[in-house]
């Protein structure tokens, strides 16, 4: 046991000291990349605050400065549409946009102001200038600037340079932040062989002590830290870790397995070749978790509820089409709706965020005119469960003592309403009839006014206020 604790401490120290070497992330942006055996470069990019009429970009080249750079530019219009362009900077403060973008765009998502996208392009020469990334050393993230019509205005704030030199962080007089990695995406992390040995040891410990929750919790947490630290370079660990979870979880249903699974999906769910295995993992974990929720079981397992629906939300974000075309997504969604009334802050929030993610994905697909089998299945699922969502969310909002829970439920009700405005008032009226109003606490007129007022609102805070006022009559 002492050796195991020592191992865990060492992993924690190594993970935290080496994490910055394997990908790039700060409070505003995140970027991960990998190169396939066919020399296809895949870049996953996230921006946490891409508001309307703003742009952000990834650029490549050796300058000097901001001159002669190839760019991938993402912009958000005032109608929330996302446009992806490629271009170059012949000189400072000037961007020439290509007539046709030469990158392939996958999995564009916009949740509120949080934007994420995955793009691919050949590593070798491509585009009108035959630009190659095979020898490129400078990767540049431009957090963004405003737009005027279809024109990109000057960027605001610092520019992030990812260079291929010795690791270091420094700031120069031009307000550029330099993050220098050892050799871009070609050089493996220096402690990768050690991580391999750690993973093997942790999986052995997991199998040997599979019935000891404390050991399992610490071992799985260490695996989770390693995955987060290595980012894309942890790819070789996915298969043995997922196999261990599939074999062990049915016998000992530790919720920490679900948490680790959500991290793996977050890291690799956007990769097509990984999705079948991850979907099998989800199916096994979910089907062996559902029996715990029967009756009042969810109340006794709030951590499991929290971790399972976090995993479901990650799948909805990273692989929506394959998720919704699988039967397990329908079962997860139904169980989520059933557990909307769970009186535990973390568990309730995970359930709510999963349902909200589904509704937001549908709203985004509708706005962009996009449809596939996943969208169709998700739409049918929401149509079937919409009344139950409104009924459970209203009941939870009425009788919860948590302001955060009430706000979450108000947002959920509003999203269901926006999804189908024609049926919004009827669904609210049906939900109101389910409230415990015997003996009378609210008159028929008060309930009718509540339905009419909420049905007219388009802001979460206004819906929250109406629910709060009605709740005063029932408490």
pLDDT digits (tens, 9 = 90+) for 215-249: 999 999 999 999 988 877 888 899 999 999 999 99
Question: Of the candidates 114, 148, 181, which is a domain's last residue?
Answer: 181
Q: Are residues 456 and 323 in the same domain?
A: yes
**Segment 274-313, tens digit of pLDDT:** 899 999 999 999 999 999 999 888 899 999 999 999 999 9
Sign, CA torsion 221/226/231/232: negative
pLDDT attached to residue 233: 80
pLDDT attached to residue 22: 41
Closest CA to 359 of 415, 401, 313, 404: 415
Quote the domain boundaries for residue 123: 23-181
Distance of alpha carbon 99 from alpha carbon 59, whole angstroms: 18
Distance of CA 162 to the CA centre of its chain: 24
Question: Of the candidates 181, 204, 235, which is a domain's last residue?
Answer: 181
Greatest Cα pair distance in the chain: 77
Q: Are residues 308 and 171 in the same domain?
A: no
CB-CB contact of 161 with 184 (8 Å):
no
pLDDT attached to residue 2: 46
pLDDT attached to residue 171: 34
Q: Are residues 29 and 171 in the same domain?
A: yes
Half-sphere exposure of 433 (CA within 13 A, CB side): 8
CB-CB contact of 68 with 89 (8 Å):
yes
List Cβ neighbours of 108 (8 Å cut-off, separation of 6 or more).
82, 84, 116, 117
pLDDT attached to residue 186: 40
Tokens 């939900």 appear where? 431
List Cβ neighbours of 247 (8 Å cut-off, separation of 6 or more).
none
DSSP 124: S
pTM, to two decimals: 0.66
Within-domain flag for 359 = yes
For position 28, which CATH number holds?
A: 2.60.40
Q: Are residues 173 and 310 in the same domain?
A: no
Within-domain flag for 294 = no
Q: Are residues 177 and 304 in the same domain?
A: no
Within-domain flag for 438 = yes
Within-domain flag for 144 = yes
Within-domain flag for 194 = no
Q: Which DSSP helix (H) or strand (E) runs through 85?
A: strand 82-91
Query: Into how many domains does the chain fold?
Result: 2
pLDDT tens digits in sequence order for the chain, 475 residues long:
544 555 555 554 444 444 333 467 776 788 888 877 667 888 999 998 888 888 999 988 776 667 788 899 999 988 888 999 999 888 766 788 888 888 999 888 888 888 999 999 988 888 888 888 876 557 888 887 888 777 787 776 566 666 543 223 333 333 333 333 333 344 567 888 899 999 999 999 999 998 888 999 999 999 999 998 887 788 889 999 999 999 999 998 999 999 999 999 988 888 888 899 999 999 999 999 999 999 888 899 999 999 999 999 999 988 888 999 999 999 999 999 999 999 999 999 999 999 999 999 898 888 878 888 999 999 999 999 999 999 999 999 999 888 899 999 999 999 999 999 999 999 999 999 999 988 888 899 999 999 999 999 999 999 999 999 999 998 7
pLDDT attached to residue 170: 31
Within-domain flag for 50 = yes
CA 378 → CA 36, 333, 334, distances in Å? 31, 10, 12
Question: Of the candidates 181, 208, 236, which is a domain's last residue?
Answer: 181
Q: Are residues 173 and 306 in the same domain?
A: no
Structure tokens at 471: 């709740």
Sign, CA torsion 57/15/37/239: negative
Within-domain flag for 223 = no
Q: Are residues 29 and 174 in the same domain?
A: yes
Q: Which DSSP helix (H) or strand (E) runs through 217?
A: helix 213-230
Within-domain flag for 217 = no
């Amino acid at each position: 046991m002492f050796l195991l604790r020592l191992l865990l401490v060492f992993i924690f120290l190594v993970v935290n000291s080496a994490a910055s070497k394997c990908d790039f992330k700060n409070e505003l942006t995140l970027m991960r990349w990998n190169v396939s055996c066919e020399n296809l470069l895949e870049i996953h990019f996230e921006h946490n605050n891409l508001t309307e009429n703003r742009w952000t970009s990834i650029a490549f080249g050796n300058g000097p400065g901001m001159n002669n750079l190839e760019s991938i530019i993402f912009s958000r219009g005032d109608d929330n549409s996302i446009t992806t362009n490629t271009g170059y900077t012949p000189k400072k403060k000037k961007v020439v946009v290509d007539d046709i973008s030469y990158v392939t765009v996958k999995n564009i998502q916009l949740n509120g102001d949080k934007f994420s996208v995955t793009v691919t392009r050949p590593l070798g020469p491509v585009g009108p200038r035959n630009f190659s990334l095979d020898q490129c050393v400078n990767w540049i993230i431009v957090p963004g600037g405003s737009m005027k019509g279809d024109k990109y205005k000057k960027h605001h704030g610092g520019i992030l340079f990812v260079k291929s030199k010795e690791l270091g962080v420094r700031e120069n007089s031009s307000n550029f932040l330099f993050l220098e990695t050892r050799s871009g995406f070609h050089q493996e992390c220096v402690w990768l062989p050690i991580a391999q040995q750690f993973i093997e040891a942790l999986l052995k410990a997991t199998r040997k002590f599979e019935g000891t929750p404390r050991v399992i919790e610490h071992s799985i947490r260490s695996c989770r830290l390693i995955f987060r630290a290595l980012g894309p370079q942890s790819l070789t660990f996915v298969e043995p870790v997922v196999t261990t979870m599939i074999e062990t979880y049915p016998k000992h249903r530790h919720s920490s397995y679900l948490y680790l699974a959500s991290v793996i999906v977050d890291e690799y769910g956007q990769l097509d070749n990984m999705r079948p295995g991850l979907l099998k993992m989800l199916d096994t974990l979910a089907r062996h978790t559902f029996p715990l929720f029967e009756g009042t079981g969810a109340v006794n397992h709030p951590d499991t509820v929290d971790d399972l629906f976090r995993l479901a939300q990650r799948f909805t974000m990273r692989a929506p089409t394959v998720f919704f075309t699988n039967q397990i997504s329908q079962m997860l969604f139904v169980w989520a709706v059933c557990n909307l009334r769970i009186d535990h802050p973390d568990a309730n929030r995970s359930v709510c965020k999963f349902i909200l993610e589904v509704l937001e994905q549908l709203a985004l697909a509708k706005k962009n005119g996009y449809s596939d089998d996943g969208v169709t299945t998700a739409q049918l699922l929401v149509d079937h469960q919409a009344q139950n969502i409104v009924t459970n969310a209203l009941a939870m909002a009425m009788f919860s003592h948590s302001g955060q829970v009430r706000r979450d439920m108000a947002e959920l009700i509003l999203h269901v309403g926006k999804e189908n405005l024609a049926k919004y008032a009827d669904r609210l009226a049906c939900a109101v009839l389910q409230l415990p109003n015997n003996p009378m606490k609210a008159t028929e007129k008060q309930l009718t006014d509540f339905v009419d007022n909420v049905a007219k609102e388009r802001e979460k805070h206004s819906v929250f206020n109406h629910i709060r006022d009605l709740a005063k009559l029932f408490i």
